[in-house]
């Protein structure tokens, strides 16, 4: 199968063979019909985006109201997908994937409402490409969550990542959904609000790519 379902509804792994020779390689990255079969619904991508990041940059978590199909075409990044949909049976769970050079070349389909984040690592700049099913518009509900949320407890590959001011200010999942039953009996974990765990960079306005 070139499209693999995961235990989180709406999170798919897309993997096609890589054909290599002395010139380089060729690979097909997705077929819409296979995505639609796996999801049981139509998919129509309307905008393509490209983000380049230096090593050690962390972006997210962001849960925009549209589907995404993401990939790393140069460099290396760890992607973390968190289920922050309060009605979901896997609410609060995270799955991580290595993307890019040196590992199996895959794409991730991230359904609307799932929170996406990634951290670049290694020695090279990272080119992160993703297609989305809606055109960006001002005021879109990003429903962001803290990258260092202690309940999500992601083991990032960089000890002190470079994080935007906007992402550093994101609330934790517990702060966003304080009355969720998942937190009713759980002991709150403390989040370091001192900024010691991140190198903070400025945020230039409300531009669509600046917080991806």
- Confirm whether 44 is domain-assigned: yes
- Confirm whether 132 is domain-assigned: yes
pLDDT at residue 196 greater than cutoff 60: no
> What is the Cα–Cα distance from 86 to 185, expressed in whole angstroms?
16
- What local confidence, expressed as pLDDT, does residue 109 receive? 98
| DSSP state, residue 123 | S
Written as one string, the DSSP assignment of 138-170 is: TT-------TT-TTT----S-SS-EEEHHHHTP
- Confirm whether 114 is domain-assigned: yes
- Confirm whether 204 is domain-assigned: no
- Confirm whether 152 is domain-assigned: yes
The tokens for 76 are 């290396």
180 an active-site residue? no
- Confirm whether 118 is domain-assigned: yes
- What local confidence, expressed as pLDDT, does residue 202 receive? 55
The active-site residue, picked from 30, 62, 118, 121, is: 62
- Which band of pLDDT confidence, cut at 50, 70 and 90, is reported for residue 185? confident
pLDDT in tens, 38-63: 999 999 999 999 999 999 999 999 99
- What local confidence, expressed as pLDDT, does residue 106 receive? 97
> What is the Cα–Cα distance from 209 to 212, expressed in whole angstroms?
5
The mean pLDDT value for 98-112 works out to 97
> What is the Cα–Cα distance from 40 to 58, expressed in whole angstroms?
32
Residue of higher predicted confidence among 13 and 194 = 13
- Confirm whether 48 is domain-assigned: yes
203 an active-site residue? no
- What local confidence, expressed as pLDDT, does residue 123 receive? 97
Q: Chain-wide mean pLDDT for the chain?
A: 91
> What is the Cα–Cα distance from 66 to 114, expressed in whole angstroms?
9
pTM for this structure? 0.89
CATH of the domain at 78: 2.60.120.10
The active-site residue, picked from 30, 118, 128, 130, is: 130
- Count of structural domains within the chain: 1
Residues near 137 by beta carbon (within 8 Å), at least 6 away in sequence: none
- Confirm whether 208 is domain-assigned: no
Percent helix, strand, coil in the chain (nearest 5)? 10, 35, 55
Pick from 60-69, 93-102, 197-206: least confident? 197-206
151 is in which domain, residue-wise?
3-183
Among 32, 194, 46, 62, residue whose Cα is nearest residue 140: 62
Query: Which residues share a beta bridge with 130?
Result: 49, 70
Residue of higher predicted confidence among 210 and 151 = 151
- What local confidence, expressed as pLDDT, does residue 203 receive? 42
Q: Is 7 helix (H, G, I), strand (E, B) or coil?
A: coil
pLDDT at residue 75 greater than cutoff 70: yes
pLDDT in tens, 163-174: 999 999 999 999
């Amino acid at each position: 199968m070139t499209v693999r379902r995961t235990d989180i509804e709406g999170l798919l792994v897309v993997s096609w063979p890589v054909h290599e020779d002395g010139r380089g390689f060729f690979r097909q990255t997705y077929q819409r019909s296979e995505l639609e079969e796996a999801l049981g619904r139509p998919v129509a991508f309307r905008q393509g985006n490209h983000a380049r990041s230096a090593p050690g940059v962390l972006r997210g978590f962001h849960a925009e109201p549209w589907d995404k199909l993401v990939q790393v075409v140069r460099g290396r990044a760890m992607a973390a997908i968190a289920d922050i949909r309060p009605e979901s049976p896997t609410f609060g769970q995270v799955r991580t994937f290595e993307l890019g050079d040196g590992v199996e070349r895959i794409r991730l389909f991230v359904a609307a409402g799932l929170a996406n984040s990634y951290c670049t690592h290694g020695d090279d700049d990272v080119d992160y490409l993703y297609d989305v099913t809606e055109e960006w518009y001002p005021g879109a509900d990003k429903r962001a969550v803290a990258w260092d949320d202690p309940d999500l407890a992601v083991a990032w590959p960089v000890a002190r990542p470079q994080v935007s001011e906007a992402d550093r200010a994101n609330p934790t999942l517990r702060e966003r959904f304080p009355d969720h039953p998942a937190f009713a009996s759980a002991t709150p974990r403390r989040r370091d609000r001192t900024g010691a765990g991140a190198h903070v960079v400025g945020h230039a306005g409300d531009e669509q790519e600046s917080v991806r």
